[in-house]
Amino acid sequence: MASKTFLAVDLGASSGRHLAGLLDGGSLQLEEVYRFDNGGVDLGGTLYWDLPRLWADIRAGLRAAGDRWGDGIAGVGVDTWGVDFGLLGRGDQLLGNPVHYRDARTNGIFEKAFARVPREEIFRHTGLQFMQFNTLYQLLVMRLEGSPLLEMAETMLMMPDLFHWLLTGEKCNEMTNASTTQCYNPVSGAWAMELIEAFDLPAGIFGPIAQPGTVLGPLRPALVEESGLDAAQVILPGTHDTASAVMAVPAQCKPGEAPDWCYISLGTWALMGIESPRPVINEAVARLNFTNEGGVGGTIRLLKNITGMWLLQECRRVWSQGDKDWGWGDLDALSAAAEPRRSLIDPDAGDFLAPDNMPEAIRDFCRRTSQPVPEEEGAVLRCALDSIALKFRYMLGRCEELAGRRIETIHIVGGGTRNRQLCQAAADACGRRVVAGPVEATAIGNVMTQAVAAGEVADIAQAREVIRRSFPVEEYEPHETAAWDEAYERFTSLL
């Protein structure tokens, strides 16, 4: 296996980074090249993504990679979160900054949407879970409000598609991110045009769908000149960050046997589910509000979105505005010292989608549900962590119901695996072995998809073997399960 370096541009909701993956002799080494902050910007009461600043940071990271490796970079690919998009008008003019999925514009949209097309009909076309910020409802709000941007739009590009267009000049919609829009039919593998037309959305803005591993071509000449990456091809990874993260799950299955594992991609969100060879669109999936999202290698990510580290991130942000600028180690110590399972919340209650003050939102929920109110910071954190672990247990049962078998191992990947307390709590609450790692799963999956496309790795099975050899994992065995059983009964009463 020849030595090649691939650059993953991995954008999350709170930060972004460029990581170079050096593939050499059947092993992968990852090196961080550049890191930058991300987040929403309020302009006139609307929450936007700062696309110009993000693009400036992406270019800065390309220059840093060029300074370090130059023409040694063989590929570049971008992954981001799902559902958000930008619109291009005549002459490929960008029509404003993309709106953030946590913006309030889609509050109350379900009633208006289902008055046009019944919920069951939407699910039949898309097999997707219902979340108010899905692209379908963002577009519907624009239509209902008579947005001039929608009238002028000729092309819709999801966030990673925007960056790939800026990198190459090529416009397409990568499949894994398109599959999060609720405008995509996972059975046909095409846009759900009958549904799009039923909502009176402009069908012409939905462009060609490209698969992960598609080679878009070289960087624009001006970018080559400023970065020095004259040998790099832009290669589509699974551009939805969870698709790339799941590709990097270091799981092993015996030939012909069904997987006995599920995954949690743990970051701001926790995406929990199973891999399926085909879409599962039936009454059980609809009832559980699970989702069929596209995966790398023709798989389906049958999963559920759960609120993840967002609860802790927002608590830290609020406290840092005062005189408590704590690091993550400080927060870990505070939560470890607090009494476990004393107060619980439903992490996915609407109270926690975008509150101004997360600690107060947690306290208000406990107060409203007649529980002890966590006044101290450590108690607030412990309440959040215990509740996330119990939500994992709840969703584990749903995954087993849909899989029709017992799941023995929970693979947790992503930055949230650094929180060892949550990983242990997940094992304890679920009564299952937890395998945590790799931390940079999204970037690893991004890099390995590029490597497969470039012919450096044969397929996903071999890619996962390379990942197993290259990155350590940490295992957590369950204990104290009886105490968690009692807490689980209280937790389910809150859902």
Helix (H/G/I), strand (E/B), else coil: 247: helix
- R_g over Cα of the chain: 22
Distance CA 219, CA 231 (A): 9
Question: What is residue 323's predicted lDDT score, i.e. its pLDDT?
Answer: 87
Instruction: Read off the DSSP letter of residue 322.
Output: T
Global pTM value? 0.92
**pLDDT, tens digit, 9 for 90 and up, residues 126-149:** 999 999 999 999 999 999 999 999
Instruction: Read off the DSSP letter of residue 325.
Output: -
Beta carbons within 8 Å of 485's beta carbon, 6+ residues apart: none
Distance CA 293, CA 312 (A): 27
Active-site residues: which are they? 241
CA 306, 185, 118 angle in degrees (round to 5)?
75
What kind and span of H or E run contains 164?
Answer: helix 159-168
**Ranges under pLDDT 50 in the chain:** 1
Question: What is residue 455's predicted lDDT score, i.e. its pLDDT?
Answer: 95
Question: What is residue 3's predicted lDDT score, i.e. its pLDDT?
Answer: 81
Helix (H/G/I), strand (E/B), else coil: 277: coil
Strands 4-11 and 73-79: parallel
* Region label for 10, one of left (φ > 0), alpha (ψ between -120 and 50) or beta (otherwise): beta
Question: What is residue 1's predicted lDDT score, i.e. its pLDDT?
Answer: 46
4-235 folds as: Nucleotidyltransferase; domain 5 (3.30.420)
Residue 65 has phi, psi (to 5 degrees) of -65, -40
Distance CA 352, CA 365 (A): 10
* Region label for 370, one of left (φ > 0), alpha (ψ between -120 and 50) or beta (otherwise): left
**pLDDT, tens digit, 9 for 90 and up, residues 102-119:** 999 999 999 999 999 999
Mean pLDDT of the chain: 96
Number of Cβ within a 10 Å radius of residue 278: 12
Q: Which residue reads 């929608």 in tokens?
A: 150
**pLDDT, tens digit, 9 for 90 and up, residues 338-376:** 999 999 999 999 999 999 999 999 999 999 999 999 999
Instruction: Read off the DSSP letter of residue 220.
Output: P
Contact 262, 292 (CB under 8 A): no
Quick check: do 4-235 and 249-437+458-495 share a fold?
yes
Q: For the domain 249-437+458-495, what is the CATH superfamily, name and number?
A: ATPase, nucleotide binding domain (3.30.420.40)
| CA atoms in the 13 A half-sphere facing the CB of 416 | 30
What kind and span of H or E run contains 190?
Answer: strand 190-191
What kind and span of H or E run contains 469?
Answer: helix 460-470
Query: So where are the chain's domains?
Result: 4-235, 249-437+458-495
361: nearest Cα among 309, 318, 325, 331? 318
